[in-house]
Amino acid sequence: MIVGGRLTTVIVPRKALEAAQDAEKAEYLTGAVVDYVNEMQRVGVYSGRELPAVAMQAYHADYYLAQVNNGGHSQFIGNTAIAMFRTTFGDALAGLKAMGASAQYQILQEMIAWVEEHPGEAALQNGFENRPAALNALDDRFYEAERHQPVTQLAASWIASWPELHAVAQEQYASEIERLAQLHPHRSHRRIWQSVRQISFQMTDSLQITVAAACGAVAPEPELKLMVLPGFDMEVEGAQCKAFGVKTDKGSRLCVFEECGGRLYEVAARSPIVGARLSTVGADTIRDFSRIAEQNLAAEAVDLLLRKLGMDPTAMITALSVSDDRATWCAVTGKTGVLVEILGDCANVIGSDGEAVLTVTRAELERHAAEAAVGRDSLQDRP
């Protein structure tokens, strides 16, 4: 049930609630609440503000505990997005207060005050370097408080008292999560928006489209991009470059990312790790792919065509060819590659014989884009 824009039920497996009656197994119940929040955000596309307030308080209190235990308050600050500071800190603080973790509550209050007084230093925190003495002192006090009164045990006792808590048999858990997910009035729109946004990112982000185009430019047969890995500085063909690891359907690759375009290389078995150059793609071609993607609603087209084919729209995109008014892409979903040609007035799935096997019109694409926009707008200001 949704009341005041929030769900009113927290689902956990009964075995987690029963296990937590033993203080040494308290993490079973706190972990179940974390799982509930993650599942409702994934399956139901709920935002934090649409889930029970106590669930988000417990979730962020557990996040605070995990971060500080792993890398101190410095890591907690560094791993919390600036846009989420107020929500995360506020939820964690409310959770600690509600469960009776008075010492940890006081420490977090002092940390929040330090962040507000030292925004420049706070922005540099990562759990490793630039750790100020004030945060280290808070760490020491936090660990001492944990030895006397662990947050997890206090949290489990608090969670067990929630009127919102509903414990179910393990075999019922998935169906109960799905039932709550289906209550969301914008679920379908948000799922479309999430999928379209992920595809659009691959088609318009400068790094992603460079890698996608470099993979598509391999001759005589394009390679299909499956994953883009973190980048690093290295020497390639006698010059210092920024290179990114890439997984394609042919194996591990390196893509050099520059203002003038991109280059794809094999990965050698021994040093130097850069093998043969496989392709080169220029900045103009990369810009053309992004321009046509936005102009022809390419992300919406790929998403809609995959849905019409009954396939998972979560896809990895390779850019194959582009001209003034059209572009051809390959969308890999699961283990299947789908060839998509997108023009100004329609989009086609191309079969192995080169003929269109499925077509959607521009009007259909615009309607699909409007549905995605409903999902996007429903998420505004809802972290």
The strand pair at 10-13 and 261-267 is best described as: unpaired
The answer to whether the Cα torsion of 296, 299, 303, 309 is positive or negative is positive
Task: State the residue for tokens 């005589």.
Answer: 220
Interhelix angle 85-99/151-160, nearest 10 degrees: 80
Q: What does the radius of gyration of the chain's CA atoms come to, in whole angstroms? A: 25
Domains of the chain: which residue ranges? Answer: 2-184, 211-287, 293-378
Average pLDDT over residues 112-129: 92
What is the 8-class DSSP label of residue 79?
T
Mean pLDDT for 91-95 is: 97
* Helix (H/G/I), strand (E/B), else coil: 30: helix
pLDDT at residue 270 above 80?
no
**Calpha distance 33→173 (Å, rounded):** 13
pLDDT at 383 over 50: no
Q: Tokens representing 177? A: 């999560």
Look at residue 382 and tell me whether its pLDDT is greater than 70.
no
Note the CATH number of domain 2-184. 1.20.1420.60
Neighbour count for residue 198 (Cβ, 10 Å): 16
Structure confidence at residue 81 as a pLDDT band (50, 70, 90): confident
Cβ neighbors of 35 (< 8 A, separation 6 or more) are: 12
Indicate the pLDDT class of residue 273, thresholds 50, 70 and 90: confident
pLDDT at residue 22, rounded to an integer: 95
List pLDDT tens digits, range 166-187: 999 999 999 999 999 999 999 9
Residue 262 and residue 210: Cα distance in Å, rounded? 6
Q: Which two tokens stand for residue 40?
A: 């409702």
- Smallest CA-to-CA distance from 330 within 322, 320, 342, 321 is with 320
What is residue 44's predicted lDDT score, i.e. its pLDDT? 93
Give whole-number Cα distances, 128 to 76, 78, 80, 306, 358, in Å: 11, 10, 15, 44, 53
Please report, to the nearest 10 degrees, the dihedral formed by the alpha carbons of residues 175, 188, 311, 307 taken in order: 150
CA 277 to chain centre: 32
- pLDDT over 80 (residue 373): yes
DSSP label at residue 313? -
Strands 251-258 and 2-3: unpaired
Note the pLDDT tens digit of each residue in 205-256. Answer: 999 999 999 999 999 999 999 999 999 999 999 999 999 999 999 999 999 9
* Cross-strand bridge partners of residue 6: 3
Could you count the other beta carbons within 10 Å of the beta carbon of residue 32? 24
pTM of the model: 0.81
User: What's the rounded mean pLDDT across residues 13-39?
Assistant: 97
- Residue 361 pLDDT > 70: yes
Q: State the number of CA atoms in the 13 A half-sphere of 100 facing the CB.
A: 10
